[in-house]
Chain A
Amino acid sequence: MDKIVTLKNLTYQYRDTDDRLALEDVSLSIEAGEWVAIIGPNGSGKSTLAKTINGLIVPDKGEVKVGDLPLTEENLWKIREKVGMVFQNPDNQFVGSTVQDDVAFGLENLAVPRKEMVERVHSAIQKVKMDSFMEREPARLSGGQKQRVAIAGVVALRPDLIILDEATSMLDPQGRKEVIQTVKEIKEQENLTVISITHDIDEAALANRIFVMRAGHLIEEGTPAEIFANGDNLVHMGLDLPFPEKLKSALSRNGLSVPDTYLTDEGMVEWLWTLLSKK
């Protein structure tokens, strides 16, 4: 498969006076069509990493490549067309005065002709199921709805890659579920690559691969099953334990021998009932 993002030996420091680097020698590559989660405690460099991918931050050292385009001055805007980003605060990324204006904003920037723009705006809004809110102002939308509009704004640009920079962290559980569901559906339909930066365990569990960062370093990389098998070490990585893991450690504290491998919800149910039926 094609590599959509290749990062080589990235190093970055915000201010010369900072006592440590925000990113230190980070290398990774992501394949087209993957869903990747980047996790880690606050200040581990996750957002900085995400911003280097579309050139919002230029690394001090190292190489960034999106598709076959290396990140350079000339390629910057071409790369931004390929990479859509959804940020954390739903209010501070809403540029337009109404839902449809906001979705159209990116298209206006690319000088898409108006006829095509109208079409793309409508279909993007339909994809995030906000059709009945076209004329609404941001002040009258919930946080989750605003994030869905932000996703529509990105989808209308038809990117190859969507980066969710803690896009669900300011939402309530309901809004979070809606937003993740929306991204998941759109990913399937358009065959996109998704990079989600998150503290949310359910969101991380959706990924094909998880990267774990700490203090500017990439410390671990693997499938959710591999990462979640770390059990209690996850807490040190800045993540909560997934529910089956919590249940497992509670059971083992009560003297039951539990499997070492990571189990999904279904796997846990399966294991529990086989265990009980053996007795």
Chain B
Amino acid sequence: MDKLIFGRYIPGTSWIHRLDPRAKLLATMFFIIIIFLANNWQTYLLLLLFTLLAVKLTDIKFSFFINGVKPMIWLILFTVVLQVLFTSGGETYFQWGPIMVTSQGLLNGVFIFCRFVLIIFMSTLLTLTTMPLSLTDAIEYLLRPLTKLKVPVYEIALMLSIALRFVPTLMDETEKIMNAQRARGVDFGEGNIFQQMKAIVPLLIPLFVSSFNRAEELATAMEARGYQGGEGRTKYRQLHWQTSDTIVMLTFAVLTGALIFLRN
């Protein structure tokens, strides 16, 4: 689990770290949308430079971002190869039945590769520089208009933050149960697929049961501390929108304009 870079927060004090989580969340979502505007090498180059600048601003080692791409690399390569082999147009270098390598195909392959890498870089940047907790706050804030549609936004936010808070606790517990079952002779991750699946049962069921106990104790503790539901609560954590956040938003507007101007 330690290799999993996605969703990992790296504490820091860079300019990007200090941005409002709402700005970062909006910007990342926006980036993923406008990346589909790019369709020639100028636009991709612009996005690439922009992303590298953002990465530079985080003060986080570049290798972290590369690690973010690694788990996805097979999916990326598969898509790229498909694009290269099955796109027609431009100069044809090689053809064998429906399979062909064309200049257009190669170009498309490179573009798809860039698109994947840029999206992953940007989302990694978001999770590396933002505390999961602030992200929940941002999500709650951005979902708030939905309360008018009777969506229980406060409850969703509370669920999210409790879930996040219990991730490490449950990981520890999983580890403990695994070791306890190993000590009693269960082999995890060995044998054929059916044996492996069967070995998971003595891990899952105790984990399930203990989650129920936890849930009940937590609910009791919450009730004892006066929790009566999401309505009418005040908030301890507050988000502050600063000038730098507005600057980020403006930069994205300019970037979008430039993309629309440069695309074919």
Interface residues of A (CB under 8 A from B): 51, 54, 56, 77, 80-81, 83-85, 87, 89, 91-98, 100-101, 104-114, 117-118, 121, 137-139, 153-154, 157
Q: In the complex, which residues of chain A have a beta carbon less than 8 angstroms from the beta carbon of B176?
A: none
On whether the beta carbons of A138 and B165 are closer than 8 Å, the reply is yes
A-chain residues with CB within 8 Å of residue B25 when the two chains form the complex: none
Q: Which residues of B contact A (CB under 8 A)?
A: 132-133, 136, 161-162, 164-165, 168-169, 172, 213-214, 217-218, 220-228, 232-238
A96-B165, A98-B133, A154-B225 given; name 19 further pairs at CB < 8 Å.
A51-B220, A56-B224, A87-B217, A91-B214, A92-B218, A94-B165, A95-B225, A97-B132, A97-B133, A97-B136, A101-B133, A101-B236, A101-B237, A105-B227, A108-B233, A118-B236, A137-B168, A139-B168, A139-B169
Closest partner residue, chain B, to A153 (CB atom): B225
Cα A114 to Cα B232 with chains together (Å): 13
Knowing A89-B217, A93-B218, A137-B165 touch, does A80 contact B226 (C-beta < 8 A)?
yes
- Across the interface, which residues of A come within 8 angstroms of B226, CB to CB? 77, 80-81, 106, 109-110, 157
Q: Is the CB of A139 within 8 A of B224?
A: no
Cβ–Cβ < 8 Å partners of A137 in chain B: 165, 168
Q: What are 25 contact pairs spanning A and B, CB under 8 A?
A: A51-B220, A56-B220, A56-B223, A77-B226, A77-B228, A85-B224, A87-B217, A87-B221, A87-B224, A91-B169, A92-B214, A92-B217, A92-B221, A95-B165, A95-B225, A97-B132, A97-B136, A100-B236, A101-B133, A101-B237, A109-B225, A112-B234, A114-B236, A117-B234, A139-B168
Q: Which of A100, A108, A118, A153 has the most CB of B within 10 A?
A: A108
Q: State whether A108 touches B217 (Cβ < 8 A).
A: no
Residues in B whose Cβ lies below 8 Å from that of A139: 168-169, 172
